[in-house]
Structure 1
């Protein structure tokens, strides 16, 4: 898999921080501020790793993942959840076959890179 990551988070400071971390590690980074924006990027052919925030207004991360699955946009993508919660929500159980990882915020840059690197190397 190419070193590409799509960061989906409504918090611009998190998007920018994650972007800097991954660009410094040699990744091509795409940013989406909403679930709707994420779906548009996927419809335009993005294939890679998706780092998805859970708590977003209008369309949550869970709703976005369900839409990705419903629209058959998950093929060729690896989804990892980013959450301020330490434990996955009950929605995780119904979507877990489409979610490769679950990472709690705050996270360390090297921890985030290590998680994503393992999918790139596979």
Structure 2
């Protein structure tokens, strides 16, 4: 059974690129355009991994992570942040919120798949 991944990004182009890369590698992918919509998608099923952008309208990635970690259904699901931000302070904030890992855009498709396979075996 394919692993289910939720990718969250306000950029449709970025969601399309991430989804295409992961589907090509055999993953089942759902998408959301902000943290609030991501929470609604998560409420509808089981996921093995969440990949989220940091800077989004309505609800940002850090707030999304805090909400996921505070819930019960997906509390232990790995969460990767995929963002243009490389600032150490932001990384520390993401880690404190409960992020599993951090990837910087633009991403290499091979590296993305490699990281996903490591955190979601």
TM-score by length of 1: 0.87
Q: 1:14 Cα deviation (Å)? A: 0.3
For the 8 Å contact 2:6–2:47, the answer to whether it is kept is no
Residue 106 of structure 1 deviates from its aligned partner by 0.8
Q: Which of 85, 89, 93 lines up with 1:91 in the alignment?
A: 93
Distance 1:57 1:5 in 2: 21
Instruction: Tell me the residue number matched to 1:107.
Output: 107
Q: 1:120 to 1:92 in 2, by over 3 A?
A: closer
* Partner deviation per Cα, 1:71-99 (whole Å, 9 max, x = no partner): 3343341100111011341522521xx22
- Whole-angstrom distance in 2 between the partners of 1:73 and 1:94: 20
* Count of aligned residue pairs for this structure pair: 119
Name structure 2 gaps, 5 residues minimum.
none
Counterpart CA distance in 1 for 2:100 and 2:95 is 12
Counterpart for residue 38 of structure 1: 38
Q: Secondary structure at the match of 1:99?
A: coil
TM-score by length of 2: 0.88
1:55 and 1:68 mapped to 2: Cα distance? 17
Per mean C-alpha deviation after superposition, the further-off stretch among 84-93 and 55-64 is 84-93
Shift of 1:46: 2.5
Asked whether 1:12 is paired with 2:12, we answer yes
